[in-house]
Chains A and B, each alone.
Chain A
Amino acid sequence: MELLSLSRLSPHALLSSVREESLIRSPVIHLRGVRKRYGKHLVLDGTSLEIGPGVTGLLGPNGSGKSTLIKGLMGLVSIEGGEGEILGHPWPREARGIRDLIGYLPEDDCYVAGLQGVEAVQLAGRLSGLERMEALRRSHEVMDFCDIGQERYRQVETYSTGMRQKLKFAQTLVHDPPLIILDEPTTGLDPSQRDALLNRVRTLAQQHEKTILISTHILPDVRQVCDAVVILAGGIVRVSASLEQLSQPVRPGLSVWLAAGAEAFTELLSSRGLPWSQQPRGEIQLEGMQHADASQIWEMAASSGATIRRLEPARASIEQIFMDVVRQSQGATPGRPAVSSSIDSEGSSATD
């Protein structure tokens, strides 16, 4: 099956196009040549990165260096080389001070045993320099925003996974940081909670001008909330582009969803020699067709007895781009240990 994807473009071309865009948007995070090694294994291999305002998804397979990059940004691990600026502050020289401007939601569960939810958020506030009573007041404010009700007076050990995620999110926001780093923020959330959290992320970015970096494996989350995507593989940034850029296929095309008669419709396409491909969720992608060819589609649907539910210009699949980039990175660096990735058939996630 032939698929349309931006991955056919050189990652360098993508990177440079985003660089131009980033110059206009003035990057919030700008790193150059970051190197980090664990023993003999080079985790970050001269990683350069620019992240502008808005929501950016940080994607990458296992061992790609995402966590190390985030820890490096926070100054939690020492790096061997590289420099940059975060929110205008020199990095890594002022990494510790920069933490005051960052709200970090770690992937792992982290809580102080014995504290009530509200006290845990208050503690986070106090560690960020809020006075005791102000931290308590602010804790209630952000817990309201995160939809944590009376549960805030329960001990954190008794919280469900979803509640703990909300609590961590509240701790992330308590000091109102301009830069927010979320590591797998929707893990353990049910669909409604997940939607609510992503809406909050959107609100923070759009209405409160927060810069948000989301490291995730859940690609639908990226599609739903991100403005830009960075794909890291083998310690190198392979793709860095806006979601809009990534969604544009290499060649024009149209996507069709049919309510009925899909078989007859695709048979007709094949008989007329039109290239097409079946995509997840019932999407049929017609390669080489443009907006002006829509009438031809309607005519074919009518003659094959198919009912068109939706017709729109084709978009590149982020799942496919991700897979292609991972394959490219494995091919490009044969000496390195193979990176693993998987995306389920519905394209819902690429899991560790």
Chain B
Amino acid sequence: MPLIDLGYRRWDGVRSSRMWRALAITHTGLQLVWRTVWLRRLLWFAWLPILPVGIGFFLYEQSITQPDQQRMIAEIMEQAFDRPDVAEIVRRDPKEARHEVWAQMLFAFFRYPQAINMVLLFGLVAPRIISHDLRSRAYLLYFSRPLSVAEYLIGKLLILGTLLMMTTTVPALIVYVFGLLLSPDIGALVQTWDFPLRILLASLVFTLPTASLAMLLSSFTMDSRYASFAWFTLWVLGWVTYGVLTGLDVAEGGSGGGITLLSGSPTTRLVSLYHALGDVQSVVFGILRDPSAAQSAIMLVSVLTIVSILVTYYRVASHLRA
């Protein structure tokens, strides 16, 4: 028997706007992610790539006043990134090459470590994001409140978006600010004012298709292991197919070879989502001078996003009809 039992008490507080209620789903989802120790570690590890990029920014800004480092930056641009055009500008006037060098380094940050981090992170978090709700019928809890299927999906999408923002957008913005602080003159801000916008756009390009695809896979099963398997298979298969086709390209005298960022023909690159995404990001960062070269990739990524969202919507809504 309780010492005191007040029984049922009325509640007549103020309710928040319906528009923001989907954020409760996001908050709860992030709360659950944060409870997993190894996932928390992965999130910390995802910040490590900020170091080489930061060092790159530091060396470049040093190179403006120290000719020894000019050569090193030019060699990196030439050999590591296959950008002889940028290397040439660095040798001539490093200050003039600031936009290209920064863009190249930020693009590389998005393209290599953070893309792999995204595949791992989403592979661990996303498969259960909807499948667990379907298995435990949590959707009944959500939809018995004034929440639409679209709002539910936005709430879920924001979980993945926030995780990716924490591991990619925020570090990229920090590196950008770091670069500004290191630059010897205020002209750097005028030269690079567009980077925060490019970083945000690149993050969006990165998040929307991948998160939609991950949610689509999650909505197809009540057992998240199948969704995880499908997710990793998709990326690995894309890589392998691209590798095989690029190998054939090289053997036939194609454009592949070397440590290039954009090797293989545009059609070949469409077989791998990783490479197609890379093409779109290269347009965002201004690496690919001719955006029409990435037209097919932009189309593929857009169609993939729209189809994924529509099918996921249908899958979730169909459980209500059952």
Among B1-36, those with CB < 8 Å from A are: 2, 5-13, 15-18, 21, 24-25, 27-28, 31-32, 35
Asked whether, in the complex, the Cβ of B32 is within 8 Å of the Cβ of A134, the reply is: no
A131: nearest residue on chain B (CB-CB)?
A: B16
Tell me, in angstroms, the Cα distance from A123 to B25 when the chains sit together.
Answer: 8
Contact A114 to B35, CB < 8 A, known contacts A74-B144, A97-B146, A126-B21: yes
Tell me, in angstroms, the Cα distance from A144 to B18 when the chains sit together.
Answer: 28
Residues of chain B with a CB closer than 8 A to A134's CB: 13
Among A135-168, those with CB < 8 Å from B are: 138, 141-142, 144-145
Asked whether, in the complex, the Cβ of A111 is within 8 Å of the Cβ of B6, the reply is: no
B17: nearest residue on chain A (CB-CB)?
A: A129
Residues of chain A with a CB closer than 8 A to B132's CB: 112-113
Give 6 A-B contacts (CB < 8 Å), ordered by A residue: A110-B139, A113-B135, A113-B136, A127-B24, A145-B7, A145-B9
Q: Does A323 touch B at the CB level, under 8 Å?
A: no
Residues of chain A with a CB closer than 8 A to B138's CB: 110-113
Contact A112 to B28, CB < 8 A, known contacts A77-B321, A130-B15: yes
Tell me, in angstroms, the Cα distance from A115 to B32 when the chains sit together.
Answer: 7
Tell me, in angstroms, the Cα distance from A120 to B140 when the chains sit together.
Answer: 13
Tell me, in angstroms, the Cα distance from A141 to B10 when the chains sit together.
Answer: 10
Among B94-152, those with CB < 8 Å from A are: 128, 132-133, 135-148
Residues of chain B with a CB closer than 8 A to A124's CB: 141, 145
Binding site for A on B (CB under 8 A): 2, 5-13, 15-18, 21, 24-25, 27-28, 31-32, 35, 128, 132-133, 135-148, 320-321
Contact A112 to B143, CB < 8 A, known contacts A96-B148, A129-B15, A130-B13: no
Closest Cβ–Cβ distance, residue A181 to chain B (whole Å): 9
Asked whether, in the complex, the Cβ of B24 is within 8 Å of the Cβ of A208, the reply is: no
> By CB atoms of chain B within 10 A, which of A113, A127, A128 has the most?
A127
Among A87-138, those with CB < 8 Å from B are: 96-97, 99-100, 102, 104, 106, 108-115, 119-120, 123-124, 126-132, 134, 138
Closest Cβ–Cβ distance, residue A199 to chain B (whole Å): 11
Asked whether, in the complex, the Cβ of B141 is within 8 Å of the Cβ of A100, the reply is: no
Q: Does A173 touch B at the CB level, under 8 Å?
A: yes
Residues of chain B with a CB closer than 8 A to A113's CB: 128, 132, 135-136, 138
Interface size class on chain A is 35 or more
Asked whether, in the complex, the Cβ of B147 is within 8 Å of the Cβ of A127, the reply is: yes
Among A57-111, those with CB < 8 Å from B are: 71, 74, 76-77, 96-97, 99-100, 102, 104, 106, 108-111
Q: How many A-B residue pairs have CB under 8 A?
A: 116
Closest Cβ–Cβ distance, residue A196 to chain B (whole Å): 12
Tell me, in angstroms, the Cα distance from A171 to B142 when the chains sit together.
Answer: 11
Closest Cβ–Cβ distance, residue A278 to chain B (whole Å): 42
B145: nearest residue on chain A (CB-CB)?
A: A127
Closest Cβ–Cβ distance, residue A151 to chain B (whole Å): 15
Q: Which of B10, B28, B135 contacts A119 (CB 8 A)?
A: B28
Contact A102 to B141, CB < 8 A, known contacts A77-B320, A130-B15, A208-B10: no
Contact A108 to B137, CB < 8 A, known contacts A77-B320, A138-B11, A175-B11: yes
0/1 per residue, A199-238, Cβ < 8 Å to B? 0100110011000000000000000000000000000000
Closest Cβ–Cβ distance, residue A312 to chain B (whole Å): 33
Residues of chain B with a CB closer than 8 A to A132's CB: 27
Closest Cβ–Cβ distance, residue A290 to chain B (whole Å): 42
Residues of chain A with a CB closer than 8 A to B28's CB: 112, 115, 119, 123, 126
0/1 per residue, A170-204, Cβ < 8 Å to B? 01010110000000000000000000000010011
Tell me, in angstroms, the Cα distance from A132 to B2 when the chains sit together.
Answer: 27
Closest Cβ–Cβ distance, residue B110 to chain A (whole Å): 31
Asked whether, in the complex, the Cβ of B144 is within 8 Å of the Cβ of A129, the reply is: no
Tell me, in angstroms, the Cα distance from A210 to B316 when the chains sit together.
Answer: 32
Closest Cβ–Cβ distance, residue B297 to chain A (whole Å): 37
Asked whether, in the complex, the Cβ of B141 is within 8 Å of the Cβ of A171, the reply is: yes
B132: nearest residue on chain A (CB-CB)?
A: A113
Q: Which of A76, A126, A203 contacts B24 (CB 8 A)?
A: A126
A204: nearest residue on chain B (CB-CB)?
A: B8
Asked whether, in the complex, the Cβ of B11 is within 8 Å of the Cβ of A176, the reply is: yes
Tell me, in angstroms, the Cα distance from A262 to B7 when the chains sit together.
Answer: 45
Tell me, in angstroms, the Cα distance from A144 to B3 when the chains sit together.
Answer: 12
Residues of chain A with a CB closer than 8 A to B15's CB: 100, 128-130, 175
| 10 more A-B residue pairs beyond the given contacts A76-B320, A112-B138, with a C-beta to C-beta distance below 8 A | A74-B143, A97-B146, A99-B145, A104-B140, A113-B132, A115-B28, A123-B141, A128-B146, A141-B9, A144-B6
Residues of chain A with a CB closer than 8 A to B21's CB: 126-129
Tell me, in angstroms, the Cα distance from A203 to B7 when the chains sit together.
Answer: 9
Closest Cβ–Cβ distance, residue B121 to chain A (whole Å): 17
Q: Which of A108, A141, A144 contacts B140 (CB 8 A)?
A: A108
Asked whether, in the complex, the Cβ of B136 is within 8 Å of the Cβ of A110, the reply is: yes
Residues of chain B with a CB closer than 8 A to A142's CB: 8
Residues of chain A with a CB closer than 8 A to B146's CB: 96-97, 99-100, 128
Tell me, in angstroms, the Cα distance from A229 to B116 when the chains sit together.
Answer: 60
Residues of chain B with a CB closer than 8 A to A120's CB: 141
A114: nearest residue on chain B (CB-CB)?
A: B32
Residues of chain B with a CB closer than 8 A to A76's CB: 143-144, 320
Residues of chain A with a CB closer than 8 A to B31's CB: 119
Contact A109 to B136, CB < 8 A, known contacts A123-B141, A129-B15, A176-B11: yes
Residues of chain B with a CB closer than 8 A to A138's CB: 11, 13
0/1 per residue, A265-285, Cβ < 8 Å to B? 000000000000000000000
Tell me, in angstroms, the Cα distance from A111 to B136 when the chains sit together.
Answer: 6
Contact A127 to B142, CB < 8 A, known contacts A109-B137, A145-B8, A208-B8: yes
Asked whether, in the complex, the Cβ of B16 is within 8 Å of the Cβ of A129, the reply is: yes
Q: Which of B10, B136, B147 contacts A176 (CB 8 A)?
A: B10
Tell me, in angstroms, the Cα distance from A124 to B128 when the chains sit together.
Answer: 20
Residues of chain A with a CB closer than 8 A to B10's CB: 176, 208
Tell me, in angstroms, the Cα distance from A200 to B10 when the chains sit together.
Answer: 14
A129: nearest residue on chain B (CB-CB)?
A: B15
